[in-house]
Amino acid sequence: MKNLFAVFIFLFSVALWCQEDNSLLVSKNTFSFRDGYLISNSFHSIYDTNGWLWILGENKLSNEYILGEQEIIIQRFDGANFFTLKLPDTFNKKIKEGHFFKSQDHGLYLKLSYEVARAELFYINTETLTLKAVKEYNKLNANFLISKAYTAQDSSPIVLTSNNKFYSAKLDKLKLRFIDSIPFEKPVAQPVLDDPITMDDFTLIKLQTEKEGVFLNKEGKFIKKIAESDFEATNGINFYPTIIQPPFKVSDAFYTYIDNYKNAFKFNKEFKKFLEIPHTDSVLGGNKKLQFTSGFNYAFSTEIDGDFTAMELYRLKDFQKELFTTIKVKNISGIAYKDFGKDLVILDGNTLDSYSFIKSKIKTFLKDKSIRSIKKLKENKYIIATDTEGLYKIDVKKNTEERIKILSDATKLNINYSRGIFNGTDNNLIIANSDYLYTLDSNYEVIQDKTIKIHSGIIIKLKDSLFTADPGSGIYKYSLNENSYTKIANTEVVQVKEFATDGTTLFANTGQGIFEYKNGNFNTYTFENVETDHLLSINYLQDYGILVSTKFGEIYTFDTTTKKLNLLYKDALNASIVGMVEDHNGILWLNTYAGIVSLNPSSKKIIRYTTKDGVYELEGNRFSTYKDEQDGSILMGSNKGLSYFKPDELVENNLKAQPQFTSISFFNSENDRWEVNTSPDFLNNTRKIDLPSEYRRFSATLSVFGQLNPQDIKYRYRLLNIGSNSDWFTTYAGKEILFANLAAGVYNLEVEAYSASKEKIGETIVLKVISKEVFYKTWWFILLILFFVVISVLFLFYQYKVKQKLFAKNKIALNEAQIKNTMMLEIHHRIKNNLQIVSGLLGLQMANSKNEELKVKLQDSQSRIESIAGIHDLLYNSSNQDLISVKENIESCVAYYKKLFPTNITYHLNIDSSILSVTQATPFSLLLNELINNSNKHAFHQTKNPEIFINFQQRDKKYVFIYFDNGNFTQQATQKQTMGMKIIGMMNKQLKGELKIENTTNFKLTLLFSKNE
């Protein structure tokens, strides 16, 4: 009974299945090396919780032509831009493959398998982009051979094996915690784990080639081993499975296909068994290799066909699947998706194909059929007239289309080119083509007695009358009540393009102008601002009155009082406007030759909907724009189908979508390098960046995370300086915003995102940018300079005042010194004169004296006085009254004795440039005088060529004076204490010198005395 009941439920669900709407928009964007995608062979890819795609694979730029030598890298993809992330150091271990799996804290784990070494596990913080080794896993005992992760709520579980056990463990970032273990029935040399089969609270783990398997609960505890008794076919036979296909969920129960059994197996939670369900061989079309999404609303399958792989994408509902698209690619190497059925990424070599599946709010019916007129039948159902394929009935809720079979006296009748469908009496429909006006009953059969021959298909209903127009014979009125057909007089020349009415007056857009008819009278109006040949469509709308469009994209309001046309709107593309209606909010909806346009005259907001928004054909048809007055739906026809939408639903609601910075790059002064910041942690927490004065540039990339195709998004941005305004600039997905050479100041970068229909997405994002001033232009530096200038001025003024005082003091001192110098010169001069007077007196006395001994004494005294006078003469003639040049003094003394004594004596002088003070020069001069005087008097009596040698040198801090002659002192050897020698001794004491006299055959004196500092 249970099996029969299950079959009944299955059949009932099939009966309730209906096709979902047909408004899926599939867009594809391809990225390759030139777009920044560097991976040539992807290993694995996965989306993180922030919406970024992570791809692991071989770097195309590294050793491209050497097999097996490619660098392995990670790239992150935001839907438009790629950013490369280096792997952690693997210490030269060659990577064979790798894959990601999700962590419970919204991070990722990366498992790398090596060619030789054991696999290693790394934890990735997707907020900060840091990669760290899970050491507790990487350092496991060598007995642990293999591991696999499986999904579980709020945890990161893995299962491991050794040669003889299953192990259950959980990962928590960098930690690994073992939970449970269970032994094999017998050891297995090379255990290979099958993919885990997870069914909400339970997970089935088994080996591929051995009959070893277990059930785990959601806590990671092993609850039982699997056995043949856990798998039961409809014939009652139990078996041990080899292949278990991925499970799928229907009404809280899990089903799967096992081995080659045609029917599905249902998992019994209570007994942990799989039971075959009869008559389910056609479930899901018999496709056993479907891969299901986590919510089991979608699935996909891949089938290799030669060099290509066909990927079929399905919607699921109960036991039914609906193919909504097929993708054929070459050599699939990997797939990934954020929300299956809305996006898909296919990796193929160095190509990344990004597919977006967006459910359009615009439905398309009667594709490739030319639509002409529309009328509502009842809720969700409409009758549609086509140009060449008759009438159709559509159901906008069930998404069905049905050709209406019209019978006239049991004969099939085709009604084409109908310009209008109207309600008649008794639920009848009135419809016209270019020749006849037909009345159809509820079974779509022609009521013969109400068929009327007419002259045109242009038709409108006003109260209980129908008006038709024939370009050659005028305008006709058909009374529904009286069943009469009459011509309006004098309308032969009126060439009607389209009728409109406000309920009391008939208006028409004609080749002669605007036609107005009321109470049997009509007028035609022409205009100076519009040529009548340009008029195209006309309609009456409650909030706008009579609107008239042109074939050049203009809309005018017709003022019924002044009879003038006033411009309301001009299409930016100059596209012809063939239909106009307003929604319940007063917004105009236009059927144009360039898509569907919404116009809000009060806000001036204009949105154009094109093929990217689900409009199947851009070029609209006349007479095929219709509004459902009950639910507000709008239908617009074209020559290739009918568009149906509800205006309130069509206006995009992008509250869940928000533009975001995906990278901000600038020069980091602290790290002294240019940095590309792509981590969500940085991007989400950064509201301001500082640009150093020496590198005032920055760049940014953007993307929109949400159910939108990033490539369809357009961005506009501007950089505002405080107190100024700036124009908006436009950029597109994948393009970088770059500003360089910014002037110093504070800026705000504002960015907005817009959809293909020019609808703003999310909120404006703002980034504050502070461009720092060059240090010598900063206010603090200027103040510092001013401070130094002021201090310098004050210091200079102070120095000036000090110098002025010093100058005054110096001037006084110089005057005093000059006076003293003059006085000293005068003293020296007078002393010299007095000494010369004394010398003269001694000379007179010596001349008058007859005593030879006295004369000699007087001459000696005179020479001594002359020596002292010579010093004062040198001082008087010198610029310095304190210092005496030794050389000048000695030369003066020698010159004096050359005059005094007639003996022809040769003087040998070796004197340096030493200078003596007056206190040393006077005793030295007297000493020298005695020496020369003694030599002249006593040394040369027996010497033919007398010579005197005088040497004076400075050595270190002492003066060395050497005096010797070639005379003979033998006769006076006993006369040691002559007057001259006494004077020499006295002068030596004054000089505080060291005196040494040698007189063997001649006389030699050596004197050493200190320099007077």
**pLDDT average, residue stretch 886-893:** 86
- Please say whether the beta carbons of 198 and 153 come within 8 A: no
**How big, in percent rounded to 5, are the helix, strand and coil portions of the chain?**
20, 45, 35
Backbone angles phi, psi at 922, to 5 degrees: -65, -55
Confidence of residue 9 (pLDDT cuts 50, 70, 90): very low
pLDDT of residue 17: 34
pLDDT of residue 567: 96
Please give, one letter per residue, the 3-state secondary structure of 781-824.
Answer: HHHHHHHHHHHHHHHHHHHHHHHHHHHHHHHHHHHHHHHHHHHH
pLDDT tens figures, 182-202: 999 999 988 999 999 999 889
**Strand 82-85 versus strand 72-77 pairing type:** antiparallel
Report CA torsion sign: 173, 178, 179, 185: positive
* In the predicted structure, residue 222 carries a pLDDT above the cut 90: yes
Confidence of residue 8 (pLDDT cuts 50, 70, 90): very low
pLDDT of residue 23: 65
Sheet holding 429-432, edge to edge: 421-423, 429-432, 436-440, 452-453
Q: How far apart are CA 148 and CA 611, in angstroms?
A: 45
Residue 879's SS3 state is coil
- Please say whether the beta carbons of 260 and 254 come within 8 A: no
Q: How far apart are CA 134 and CA 560, in angstroms?
A: 81
Give, in words, the CATH class of 883-1013: alpha beta
Q: Tell me, what DSSP letter sits at residue 828? A: H
**Strand 248-250 versus strand 231-232 pairing type:** unpaired
pLDDT tens figures, 729-768: 999 888 899 999 888 889 999 999 988 777 888 889 999 9
pLDDT of residue 828: 60
Nearest by Cα to 541 from 579, 497, 591, 495: 579
Q: How far apart are CA 319 and CA 128, in angstroms?
A: 43
Nearest by Cα to 892 from 873, 914, 878: 873
Q: Which residues contact 980 (CB under 8 A, 6 or more apart)?
A: 860, 930, 931, 933, 934
Q: What are the structural domain ranges in the chain?
A: 658-769, 778-881, 883-1013
Confidence of residue 237 (pLDDT cuts 50, 70, 90): very high
Which of 139-153, 524-538, 907-921 is predicted most confidently?
524-538
Confidence of residue 13 (pLDDT cuts 50, 70, 90): very low
> How many CA atoms lie within 13 Å of 173's alpha carbon, on the beta-carbon side?
5
Confidence of residue 11 (pLDDT cuts 50, 70, 90): very low
First-residue to last-residue Cα distance in the chain: 136
- Please say whether the beta carbons of 716 and 727 come within 8 A: no
2 membership: H or E segment, kind and range: helix 2-16
% of the chain surpassing 70 pLDDT:
88
Nearest by Cα to 79 from 131, 25, 24, 27: 27
C-alpha distances in Å from residue 288, one per residue of 207, 277, 328, 579, 922: 20, 15, 20, 50, 134
Q: Give buried/exposed letters for 108-126 (b at 16+ CB in 10 A, else e).
A: bbbbbeeeebebbbbbbbb
**pLDDT average, residue stretch 905-920:** 88
DSSP E strands, 583-657? 588-592, 595-600, 605-609, 620-627, 634-638, 641-645
- Please say whether the beta carbons of 98 and 43 come within 8 A: yes
Q: How far apart are CA 741 and CA 751, in angstroms?
A: 20
Q: How far apart are CA 348 and CA 371, in angstroms?
A: 42
Q: Specify the length of the chain in residues.
A: 1013
Backbone angles phi, psi at 871, to 5 degrees: -65, -45
pLDDT of residue 148: 85
pLDDT of residue 758: 78
- Please say whether the beta carbons of 771 and 752 come within 8 A: no
Backbone angles phi, psi at 722, to 5 degrees: -60, 125
**pLDDT average, residue stretch 680-684:** 93
Nearest by Cα to 757 from 167, 478, 457, 361: 361
- Please say whether the beta carbons of 433 and 446 come within 8 A: no
**pLDDT average, residue stretch 822-837:** 65
% of the chain surpassing 90 pLDDT:
45
Sheet holding 564-570, edge to edge: 535-541, 545-550, 554-559, 564-570
Under CATH, what is the fold of the domain 658-769?
A: Immunoglobulin-like (2.60.40)
Backbone angles phi, psi at 525, to 5 degrees: -120, 135
**pLDDT average, residue stretch 346-359:** 86
- Please say whether the beta carbons of 413 and 451 come within 8 A: no
